[in-house]
Structure 1
Amino acid sequence: MSAAAESRLQALDGVLDGQHATAALADELFSVVDALGAQPALRRALSDPSTPDEVRAQLAESLFGQRLGGTTVTVIAQAARARWGSSSSFIAAIERQGVRALLRAAQDEGKLDELEDQLFKVERLVDANPELRQALADRVTPVQGRKDLLSGLLQGRVLEATRQLARRAVEARQRTFALTVEGYLAMAAALRERAIATVTTAIPLTDEQEARLKTVLSRQVGRDVNLRVVLDPTVIGGVRVSLGDEVIEGTVAARLDDAQRKLA
């Protein structure tokens, strides 16, 4: 993502952060995303860079002002005022705010940890089930049907916010369901100024091992770290840690590969 695009997203984040986040706000933002997705002419009109910024913002206010809450209209108008480069980027920016509204509402209710843990488990469930993963990615099947499939599996088993985010992730705006969920988890970590480390290991870590690893990684990056532990029986001893773009190999296989390279 370019620095300019990142700056636009941060500015829109700031608009939402100045409002009271609720599940109802998220619902309204998602309803706008769905409406824009179904109406190409509308999304082009609100994101056309040849139209003056304030004209696009005023159009958003006139279209949604009588039907949606004031907070929602404020966010949509600001999104319309910015220049995103494409209508798809415009829609993705609004959906991001819907996701962040749900995450912030969960944080206010003291449920963000539970939501993060559930989202991660849903991602792993889909990843571990090839038939389910293929069904959710099948573009021949209408997206509503795919959403309902996953929603039915999660009904009554997770927080409503978790189920709603999982449904949104089926559209895979970040190329795949898994990458989209990872994006949600990154947003959740950012709300609390934390980093995410994915730990791949053949056997579960003990509480003491997790605590030690968290301490070491937090010291390394200078902020708290959330661990996402992935069990992989093909890992031969030790652990593999992915922290952002950095991969720390501590497995027997990695050390053997390194030894072979040095001997070659």
Structure 2
Amino acid sequence: MSGSTRQSTAAARERLEALTDNTSVDLAALAGDLLDVTRVLDREVSLRRILTDPATPGQAKADLVANLLTGKVGAETVDLLSGMVRSRWSAGRDLSDATEQLGALALIISADKANELDDVEDELFRFGRIVAGDVALRSALTDSAAAPSAKAELVRDLLGGKAKAVTVALVTALVTQPRGRSLESGLDEYARLAAGRRGRVVALVTTAVPMSDTQKERLAASLATLVGRPVHLNLDVDQQVLGGVRVQIGDEIIEGTIAGRLDSADRSLAG
């Protein structure tokens, strides 16, 4: 991400945060509008170019947004997009990416306000694990030939009444509009957004047996001290690790499992 795009994205997120401080804003509707606009921007390449052309005055681009969107989406969405097109973007795709990110973030903020964000983070992780273990399900959700409406209905059948509404909305957005991402990377991206809402990082913790609440609290505290930020634990049980704990935070891996140590020993002997 270039410097100008990074700054413009940060400014857009600040405007969204300020907007969502208003309790009268319907965050689900706002998120839906932003995701709909993302579809339009992804489809209309020429429009993206016009809206991100640095030679075109910002007010002219904002007027174009107002003319195109007023009456089709909420006033809050028009205001957000008008501010975004006044900013500088390195590429048209960057504007689409930021718009989609704002849509997902609006849903995450709504979960946070409802004290449901922990549940949403856990549900996104569990859904990813379920899909990873079911080849047929993953194929159905990622089939590019399948109609988006059919995939959305499948998500509702799987999660409706079993997961938070925000989780259902995020997964539906991802499977109907993957935007070149794998299902796994999209879920990871949403998980990072959710963790970032509270200034946390996500740690994938793998053990041979489920951890007790006390063990989870101690591990979270230790990792928070290590990385200097609060940590949200995504817990996975894999009997193949034999014992110990394996922790992954981003690209960093802390290997403390018996299986990992045995594998390391085998490589040392082979060398």
TM-score by length of 1: 0.90
Match of 1:106 in 2: 111
Q: Return the letter of the residue paired with 2:17.
A: D
Per-residue Cα deviation, 1:139-160 (whole angstroms, up to 9, x for no partner): 1223332232222221222222
Match of 1:73 among 49, 73, 78: 78
Match of 2:240 in 1: 234
**What secondary structure sits across from 2:203 in the alignment?**
strand
| Residues 139 and 77 of structure 1, relative CA distance in 2, 3 Å threshold | same
Match of 1:222 in 2: 228
Q: Larger deviation: 211-220 or 29-38?
A: 29-38
Match of 2:8 in 1: 8
Match of 1:118 in 2: 123
**What secondary structure sits across from 1:18 in the alignment?**
helix
Q: Distance in 2 between matches of 1:152 and 1:36?
A: 29
**What secondary structure sits across from 1:217 in the alignment?**
helix
Identity %: 37
1:210 shift after superposition = 1.0
Per-residue Cα deviation, 1:227-263 (whole angstroms, up to 9, x for no partner): 0012223223222100122100011122123334444
Match of 2:137 in 1: 132
**What secondary structure sits across from 1:242 in the alignment?**
strand
Matched-pair contact (CA < 8 Å) for 1:103–1:112: yes
**What secondary structure sits across from 2:170 in the alignment?**
helix
Q: Distance in 1 between matches of 2:94 and 2:149?
A: 22
- Does residue 1:18 correspond to 2:23, yes or no? no
**What secondary structure sits across from 1:19 in the alignment?**
helix
Matched-pair contact (CA < 8 Å) for 2:4–2:90: no
Match of 1:195 in 2: 201
| Residues 153 and 173 of structure 1, relative CA distance in 2, 3 Å threshold | same
Unaligned runs of 5+ in 2: none
Matched-pair contact (CA < 8 Å) for 2:206–2:235: yes
Q: How does 1:1-264 map to 2 (within 5 A)?
A: 1-20=1-20, 22-170=27-175, 171-173=177-179, 175-263=181-269, 264=271
Q: Distance in 2 between matches of 1:19 and 1:152?
A: 33
Q: Distance in 1 between matches of 2:195 and 2:119?
A: 13
Matched-pair contact (CA < 8 Å) for 1:151–1:166: no
Per-residue Cα deviation, 1:105-139 (whole angstroms, up to 9, x for no partner): 11112221222222222222211211111121211
Matched-pair contact (CA < 8 Å) for 2:246–2:255: yes
Aligned residues: 264
Matched-pair contact (CA < 8 Å) for 1:92–1:173: no
